[in-house]
Amino acid sequence: MTIYLSGIHNETDSTFLRGLKEQIVALGCTIVAPEENATKKLSWTEDMSIRMNSILASDTMFMLPKWRESTIARIELTAAMNEKKHLCFTIDDIKDLITTLDG
């Protein structure tokens, strides 16, 4: 399962993020995080295009804490909902989703 991480911003706790990524990978999932690419050097339109394509290519979107504070995260959430992507807000949501999909 490919999981898109939404809501990463300059105030995101890097220790929390690293731990979250480790847990997700340990569950056998692949992570997509546009902030880790060079999107900051792109125009807003180019950045959003890359993000939307990444959302389309992902199975699930994980919303990080404080995602509501990010305009981009709210746009990403709307796009994911429009595409009927699975939405997760905790690591337990991902575990439950894996169990459901495997069952």
Residue extents of the structural domains in the chain? 2-102
Q: How confident is the model at residue 10 (pLDDT cuts 50, 70, 90)?
A: confident
DSSP helix/strand/coil, 3: strand
Q: How confident is the model at residue 103 (pLDDT cuts 50, 70, 90)?
A: low
Cα dihedral sign, 16-17-20-21: negative
pLDDT digit string, tens, across residues 59-82: 999 999 989 999 999 999 999 999
Whole-model pTM? 0.91
CATH architecture of 2-102: 3-Layer(aba) Sandwich (3.40)
Contact 27, 56 (CB under 8 A): no
Q: Exposure pattern of 4-25 as b/e (b: 16+ CB <10 Å)?
A: bbbbbeeebeeeeeeebbeebe
Residue from 100, 12, 16, 97 nearest 58 by CA: 97
